[in-house]
Amino acid sequence: MRAIAYDGKMEFMEPSRPSLIEQIPREDWEKTPASVKKLVELMAKRIDSLEQEAGLLQSQEEELREKVNQTSKNSSLPPSSDPPGTGGKSRKKSGKKRGGQPGHQGKSRDLYPVEKCHSVLDHHPVTCRCCGENLQGEDTNPYRHQIVEIPPIEPIVIEHRLHQLTCGGCGTSTRATLPDDVKNSGYGVRVVATVALLSGLYRHSHRMVQSALSDLFGISISVQN
């Protein structure tokens, strides 16, 4: 009998079958060199230990399966602990078709005001879908369907050329300086704000922000900026 510790508890288990050494014929075992006997004994102990651990794990697994499958019907657990769909009352079919019912107010995204639309296109049916008769008139309350699109985005690049001129009197060269409202970083306020939004509020890494600006706006920035 061997003792095995599992989760702080000591379990005693009987070998399920004769050990490896017991299965070797006695006359063969006596002829075996001492060094080989020692190795076989170590292997036999290890195999015996692994088999017992496997049996213990199997019993633990069975216990866990029993706990997982416990419900209020086969244990003292309250019905509130039952997982969804466990033995509850089946709902009676109402006989109604699936989907929205007549008179039910549908749910859809909010429409933009007409004044916010870039253009409004009216589409009129030409013929009756039943008899094919030509249709005339105007619908005072047509169904409205809007397509929202992002305009093509191209970066606005403004180049500042700082000229350098040489004084005719003393020979000193003087280069113009950038206006006070021009940033030395080379990026405008909207680019800086977008970087701050992506990296701060949305917690994107510097490389993700760099990739986003390149993919969305065609702007190339350095990871160090």
∠187-188-191 over CA atoms, to 5°? 80
pLDDT at residue 147, as a whole number: 93
Q: 223 pLDDT exceeds 80? A: no
Question: What's the pLDDT band for 138 if we cut at 50, 70, 90?
Answer: very high
Give the span between the Cα atoms of 16 and 47, in whole angstroms: 12
Q: Among 15-24, 30-39, 105-114, 136-145, which is the least confidently predicted range?
A: 15-24
Residue 174 β-bridge partners: 165
Q: Among residues of the chain, what percentage have pLDDT more than 70?
A: 73
Give the span between the Cα atoms of 163 and 121, in whole angstroms: 52
Task: Give start and end residues of each alpha helix (H) in 115-218.
Answer: 189-196, 206-217
CA distances from 88 to 65, 68, 82 (A): 21, 17, 9
pLDDT tens string 61-88: 888 887 777 776 767 767 766 666 665 5
